[in-house]
Structure 1
């Protein structure tokens, strides 16, 4: 599965978020930035994104996944 396919699946579930996906072969990194993450725990943020990819994870199409989810303010602070 290509990174752009993973990004499309996440965008379908989280259309109000900016989504970036990187793939190094077997491992995916999903970075999501959106207002919807305001006030959410890190676990809740990850659950939203896992939910978008649940079928692919269950089938084994996606083997390893790292999720980083931020509010726009958190993202801006991170970038300095």
Structure 2
């Protein structure tokens, strides 16, 4: 599955500021940033990101996904720590 398609799909379905997609073959890494994640725990953040991608798992276009989800404030803090 094309990474740009995943990016557009996530931005269209979730109110996100930024989406970064990388990976190899059908093993995907996603970093999503948006204030939609404020007050959500990591499990609920991942559920929100999985939802628009579920049909691609059943089609085996995506085999596995690693999700990092941040609010804008968390992302800025995280970038400063690296």
Normalising to structure 2: TM-score of the pair?
0.90
CA distance in 2, matches of 1:44, 1:15: 15
Q: 1:52 to 1:17 in 2, by over 3 A?
A: farther
Q: Which runs of 5+ in 2 are unaligned?
A: none
Deviation of 1:65 (Å)? 0.5
Deviation of 1:23 (Å)? 2.3
RMSD across aligned positions (CA): 1.1
Q: Is the 8 A contact 2:30 2:67 kept in 1?
A: yes
Poorly superposed stretches of 4+, deviation over 4 Å? none
**Residues 5-14 or 17-26, more deviating:** 17-26
Count matched residues: 80
CA distance in 1, matches of 2:73, 2:15: 18
Q: Which runs of 5+ in 1 are unaligned?
A: none
What's 1:68 paired with? 68
